[in-house]
Structure 1
Amino acid sequence: MYPKYLAKLLFTSFLVFFVRCDEHNHIYEDGEEVVLWMNTVGPYHNRQETYEYYSLPFCRGPKETISHYHETLGEALLGVELEFSGLALEYKADMTKTEYCGIDLSEEKYQAFIYAVKSHYWYQMYIDDLPIWGIVGEIDEGGDGHYIWTHKKFDIGTNGKMIVDVNLTSEVKVKLSAGIKIPFTYEVKWHDSKIKFADRFDKYLDPNFFQHRIHWFSIFNSFMMVIFLVGLVSMILMRTLRKDYARYSKEEDLDDMEKDLGDEYGWKQVHGDVFRPASHPMLFSALIGTGYHIAIVATCVITFAIIGELYTERGSLLSTAIFVYAATAPVNGYCGGSLYARMGGKVWIKQMVMSAFMLPTFVCGTAFFINFIAIYYHASRAIPFGTMVAVTCICIFVILPLTLVGTVLGRNLSGQPNYPCRINAVPRPIPEKKWFMEPSVIVVLGGVLPFGSIFIEMYFIFTSFWAYKIYYVYGFMLLVFVILAIVTTCVTIVCTYFLLNAEDYRWQWTSFLAAASTSGYVYLYSFYYFFFKTKMYGLFQTAFYFGYMALFSVGLGIMCGTFGYFGTSKFVRKIYSTVKID
């Protein structure tokens, strides 16, 4: 009957063993209890700076108990602080204007409300998982009087036995003054609506913003970049390699004296060193394993978001990401462990632990540092101790064992080196080359085109996370994700070919870092966005923004670096397996 709703319901049941599902089934009988949750309050221009609703001296309604309560891991990590409002709402039961509480405005409470009004504080509530926003108060035109809204009027639309629309109107302004008593009232109006339950979240989306012409144009532009780069790699590189193959084939007919006298140069000369293990193989294999892991998680979560419309459920996207990351931990162990074994690594347990805990340690370390600042500011973003314990247990008792399983399988199934060329006992000296052929220069320039392919999408993602927009165009994100993978691979292959032609066989780290440098440009762009596109201020908001942008950039960099290494390794193996080398 409701295909989108059924898809979300099935997907929610898929997550049932990992998170506690909502006891509410969104179906009501006439007169049944409807819960109004109060969530957070905070300044409008600092969206991520939120506090508990009752951190302001608001008063609660007279009702003390409710039939259910729920909170998922994703909600806890996102700082969702649901508290019962104490207001009695019954399904399809209209309620006239009713006073539910009053507060005596002491000097302390007066100053708290004055600060909230000056800072343009907004608050958020939920009815049947539908968000509602309201403003605390306003300043009069002269700037002298500060007013607070004291009446909440709820207009709720229903379709059958389901709530499909909620609107809040703030009415009755009361001028703030120390010593007065302020009554708070509410009323509820119910009406039938033609909105389908599956479409009830559409009113919160902004198609004019996300489906603007510039968004479509950026996708088209990136797609044309992919065609150009793939054509460039196919045409220029393959033509160049064909000439190299022809030259090297002629050399097979020459005797040793003529070979020694010949003018040998290019990528063939490093065939005895090109498959030499990368420096710091343990760290390198752990990064590659983590990169494969992130890529799989990103693909799965984006796909689930498209199918299940995860943006309509509080914290479901984050809960899904954590679940998928834990469930796919064997990918990390398999890819990282097998690569480490092929590089001749012996301390595989240490490598496995590093691979399993590298990203979680960085994420948790950054999050806990920000958490201390949030606790100092008494912000709702402070992660509860129980949630920290839950995340730690997931890492130790789920991710680590699954990574161990993947590592054992990887070492036994794909751990044997099968290079097409023998590795020389003594490393070949690397000749001097022009400055633009140095690995450091290649690394810096390697991320320019990949960043260009995702630049516009970064703006939309940043705006949805740091401003009042809900990101829902995950089809765009999936397409940009594929484009990023292709562009990164093509650019890294080109860079590696030039590096090998300069007889520099240090391609493993160079290919990884050249692709990973995309994240450096993303992080630099985040500075521009912070100072020119937002109105954020304060230590907490600054630390929160740049801390989590660092996490995003590092994750993106590891994933892009893995794309670059994967494509380059296939390319290197292909060209050296085609040429006959004694």
Structure 2
Amino acid sequence: MLGLESLLFLIEVGTLIPLIKTNKIKYNVEEEGGCDDLDQGDNGWKIIHTDVFRFPPFKSLLCAVLGVGAQFLTLATAIIVMALLGMFNIHRHGAINSAAIVLYALTSCVSGYVSCSFYTQINGQRWVWNIILTSALFSAPLFLTWSVVNSVHWWSGSTQALPATTVLLLLGAWVLVGFPLTVIGGIVGKNRAGSFQAPCRTRNIARQIPPQPWYKHTFVHMAIGGFLPFSAISVELYYIFATVWGREHYTLYGILLCVFAILLSVGACISVALTYFLLSGEDYRWWWRSVLSTGSTGLFIFVYSVFYYRNRSSMSGLVQSSEFFGYSLLTALVFSLMLGSVSFWASLAFIRYIYRSLKMD
């Protein structure tokens, strides 16, 4: 029979051998596999490396937001550069509006390409529906808002109401130019889309997300991520509103370009910080959160428009109120889409970078 010391020795050896094997599997990671299915840390952002690249719900809507946001980013940059080059008459507000309409139709290919390309990368199957949703994401609210505002003008007998021929002309420009370019851009983006570059493999079963404190909830991140970019442009917003709705003439396009660059930079940095803050709590649902956190700047802009209407303008009545708030809602939507797209790409680049570095740990 075995002695007590021999028995204890066998028990100790039987306990250590599985532990040694487990540690060997854990730390001898194959280079070709990138991140494996084992945990790289005890807590924090490393432990969710097998879930952080899990594709989000509502893929088509997310890609449509990214596509239209990229389109407005291109449009806004082109308008500011054209104004900086002196291509617009400062005494005519309609020149910029006409240029914006033409550029919106011509840049529709950008939204189709970005949306359908990323939709294909994240294994989206209904690419035709994705193109239709991308084309209607902003044009449908624009047409609805414009219909309400123009109907109020017609009912009030205002001379600012557009005639039926102009309405048909604008609708024809979208049908013959805007929508076809969206379809063409979507087809090109689908055919040229590569694979989704994820440095870590994703498990079939999702990890359970631990309870999060109140300061990591979506609304708190939206309040922080929306207020900071808004504070960067709040001063310039007064002069823009005074130019659009008042009798002022805006000429500081160089400063406007700098403020626009600061807005995008602040939005990207805040999104990266909030995304890391989210991942550190072992919450991998960053896809939509990155869009909403900085995209909420549009809500602050609309709140500012209400403040401007009540305290800075002399507008009143149904006609002026419907026009002001209708187009202010569209402006807030444009900023939400544009900044949401910028913040998402910044967060995606940041997440790819930090999880790619796990191979060197």
- TM-score normalized by structure 1? 0.55
In the other structure, the counterpart of 2:347 is 568
Matched, 1:518 2:297: yes
Deviation at 1:415, TM superposition (A): 4.2
Q: In the alignment, which of 66, 82, 90 is matched to residue 304 of structure 1?
A: 82
Counterparts in 2 of 1:473 and 1:264: CA distance versus 1, 3 Å? same
In the other structure, the counterpart of 1:292 is 70
In the other structure, the counterpart of 1:390 is 169
Matched, 1:274 2:52: yes
Q: Which has the higher contact order (CA 8 A, sep 6+)?
A: 2
- The structure carrying a bigger strand percent of its residues is 1
Output the CA distance in 1 between the equivalents of 2:49 and 2:222. 23
Structure 1 residues 318-337: aligned runs within 5 Å? 318-337=97-116
Contact 2:71 2:107 in 1 (8 A): yes
Q: In the alignment, which of 428, 432, 443 is matched to residue 207 of structure 2?
A: 428
Deviation at 1:354, TM superposition (A): 1.0
Structure number with larger C-alpha Rg: 1
**How many residues end up aligned between the 2 structures?**
330
Counterparts in 2 of 1:383 and 1:412: CA distance versus 1, 3 Å? same
Q: In the alignment, which of 61, 70, 73 is matched to residue 283 of structure 1?
A: 61
Question: What are the superposed Cα offsets for residues 447-494 of structure 1, whole Å, 9 maximum, x if unpaired?
Answer: 111011000001110111111111222111111110000000000100
Contact 1:291 1:559 in 2 (8 A): yes
Q: In the alignment, which of 409, 413, 419 is matched to residue 192 of structure 2?
A: 413
Contact 2:91 2:249 in 1 (8 A): no
Output the CA distance in 1 between the equivalents of 2:326 and 2:154. 16
Q: In the alignment, which of 238, 246, 251 is matched to residue 472 of structure 1?
A: 251
Output the CA distance in 2 between the equivalents of 1:328 and 1:276. 31
Output the CA distance in 2 between the equivalents of 1:257 and 1:346. 36
In the other structure, the counterpart of 1:371 is 150
Deviation at 1:440, TM superposition (A): 2.9
Contact 2:294 2:339 in 1 (8 A): yes
Q: Mark the runs of 5 or more structure 2 residues left unpaired by the alignment.
A: 1-21, 29-37
Output the CA distance in 1 between the equivalents of 2:105 and 2:271. 30
Structure 1 residues 157-236: aligned runs within 5 Å? none
In the other structure, the counterpart of 1:443 is 222
What secondary structure is seen at the aligned counterpart in 2 of 1:276? coil
Contact 1:311 1:471 in 2 (8 A): no
Output the CA distance in 2 between the equivalents of 1:462 and 1:548. 12
Matched, 1:485 2:258: no
Q: Report the more deviating stretch, 422-431 or 488-497.
A: 422-431
Output the CA distance in 2 between the equivalents of 1:537 and 1:530. 9
Output the CA distance in 2 between the equivalents of 1:391 and 1:524. 30
Deviation at 1:414, TM superposition (A): 2.1
Contact 1:421 1:581 in 2 (8 A): no
Deviation at 1:262, TM superposition (A): 9.8
Question: What are the superposed Cα offsets for residues 414-441 of structure 1, whole Å, 9 maximum, x if unpaired?
Answer: 2422211112111111111211112332
Output the CA distance in 2 between the equivalents of 1:273 and 1:516. 24
Among all aligned residue pairs of Structure 1 and Structure 2, give the percentage whose two residues are the same amino acid.
33
Output the CA distance in 2 between the equivalents of 1:316 and 1:358. 25
Question: What are the superposed Cα offsets for residues 206-233 of structure 1, whole Å, 9 maximum, x if unpaired?
Answer: xxxxxxxxxxxxxxxxxxxxxxxxxxxx
Counterparts in 2 of 1:438 and 1:388: CA distance versus 1, 3 Å? same
In the other structure, the counterpart of 2:160 is 381
The residue type paired with residue 453 of structure 1 is A
Output the CA distance in 2 between the equivalents of 1:349 and 1:257. 44
Contact 1:357 1:395 in 2 (8 A): no
How big is the alpha-carbon RMSD for the aligned residues of Structure 1 and Structure 2? 2.1
Output the CA distance in 1 between the equivalents of 2:180 and 2:195. 23
Question: What are the superposed Cα offsets for residues 310-361 of structure 1, whole Å, 9 maximum, x if unpaired?
Answer: 1346422112111222112111111100111112111101110110121111
Q: Mark the runs of 5 or more structure 1 residues left unpaired by the alignment.
A: 1-252
Output the CA distance in 2 between the equivalents of 1:261 and 1:554. 40
The residue type paired with residue 540 of structure 1 is V
Counterparts in 2 of 1:364 and 1:262: CA distance versus 1, 3 Å? closer
Counterparts in 2 of 1:450 and 1:410: CA distance versus 1, 3 Å? same
Deviation at 1:508, TM superposition (A): 1.1
Counterparts in 2 of 1:261 and 1:471: CA distance versus 1, 3 Å? closer
Contact 1:439 1:499 in 2 (8 A): no
Question: What are the superposed Cα offsets for residues 125-172 of structure 1, whole Å, 9 maximum, x if unpaired?
Answer: xxxxxxxxxxxxxxxxxxxxxxxxxxxxxxxxxxxxxxxxxxxxxxxx
Deviation at 1:401, TM superposition (A): 1.3
Output the CA distance in 2 between the equivalents of 1:397 and 1:561. 29
The residue type paired with residue 294 of structure 1 is F
Contact 2:40 2:47 in 1 (8 A): no
In the other structure, the counterpart of 1:338 is 117
Deviation at 1:286, TM superposition (A): 0.4
Q: After TM superposition, which residue ranges in structure 1, 4 or more long, deviate above 6 angstroms?
A: 257-263
Contact 1:288 1:562 in 2 (8 A): yes
Contact 1:327 1:399 in 2 (8 A): yes
Question: What are the superposed Cα offsets for residues 172-228 of structure 1, whole Å, 9 maximum, x if unpaired?
Answer: xxxxxxxxxxxxxxxxxxxxxxxxxxxxxxxxxxxxxxxxxxxxxxxxxxxxxxxxx
Deviation at 1:413, TM superposition (A): 1.4
In the other structure, the counterpart of 2:135 is 356
Contact 1:311 1:470 in 2 (8 A): no
- TM-score normalized by structure 2? 0.87
The residue type paired with residue 72 of structure 2 is I
The residue type paired with residue 295 of structure 1 is L
What secondary structure is seen at the aligned counterpart in 2 of 1:374? helix
In the other structure, the counterpart of 1:83 is none
Question: What are the superposed Cα offsets for residues 79-109 of structure 1, whole Å, 9 maximum, x if unpaired?
Answer: xxxxxxxxxxxxxxxxxxxxxxxxxxxxxxx
Contact 1:352 1:403 in 2 (8 A): yes
Contact 2:90 2:250 in 1 (8 A): no
- The structure carrying a bigger helix percent of its residues is 2
Output the CA distance in 1 between the equivalents of 2:323 and 2:26. 67
